[in-house]
């Protein structure tokens, strides 16, 4: 399912910032293994983006967001930090205001740098 950014709900004009939003939603779906809408854990009227954003801001912990079936695998490796970095990227990509979202070029650049440097990069870099 393609997910449109809120600024495109009533417009046929799609921007690169809308593409970035959709990419962020895709990352959230992969990380949480939840559907964009209609998940039983969402409060009525809440979608995946609102739920993930609220949960992260409340806890600053990925355990409540990441698919629970990945729990043991994350604990047994250094993947938890990498998944957290992808979550933070997803949250940046799904910011409510398009001007606050990175460009796709910035997303690719950041991910390329991460692949070269590994998981030792700090979380604060993703929030910049």
- Give the total number of structural domains in the chain: 1
Range of the domain at 61: 14-127
pTM for this model (two decimals): 0.76
Q: Can you tell me which residue has the tokens 């209609």?
A: 38
pLDDT classification of 107: cutoffs 50, 70, 90? very high
Least confident of 68-72, 80-84, 123-127: 123-127
Instruction: Note whether residue 1 is domain-resident.
Output: no
Task: Assess if residue 8 is contained within a domain.
Answer: no
Residue 6 lies inside a defined structural domain of this protein:
no
- Cβ–Cβ < 8 Å for 2, 22: yes
Q: What distance in Å separates the CA atoms of residue 50 and residue 39, rounded to the nearest whole number?
A: 12
Would 4 be classed as within a structural domain? no
* Torsional sign, CA 49, 22, 125, 62: positive
| Inter-CA distances, 89 with 25, 32, 39, 45, 72, Å | 10, 14, 22, 24, 23
pLDDT of 102 above 90? yes
Taking all residues of the chain, what is their mean pLDDT, rounded to a whole number?
79
């Amino acid at each position: 399912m393609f997910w449109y950014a809120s600024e495109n709900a009533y417009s046929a004009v799609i921007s690169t910032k809308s593409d970035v939003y959709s990419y962020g939603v895709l990352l959230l779906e992969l990380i949480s293994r939840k559907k964009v809408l209609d998940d039983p854990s969402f409060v009525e009227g809440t979608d995946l983006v609102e739920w993930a954003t609220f949960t992260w801001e409340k806890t600053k912990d990925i355990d409540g967001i990441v698919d629970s079936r990945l729990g043991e695998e994350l604990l047994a490796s250094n993947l938890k930090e990498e998944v957290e970095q992808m979550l933070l990227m997803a949250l940046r990509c799904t910011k409510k205001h398009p001007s606050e979202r990175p460009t796709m070029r910035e997303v690719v650049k950041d991910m390329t740098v991460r692949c070269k440097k590994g998981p030792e990069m700090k979380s604060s870099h993703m929030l910049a």
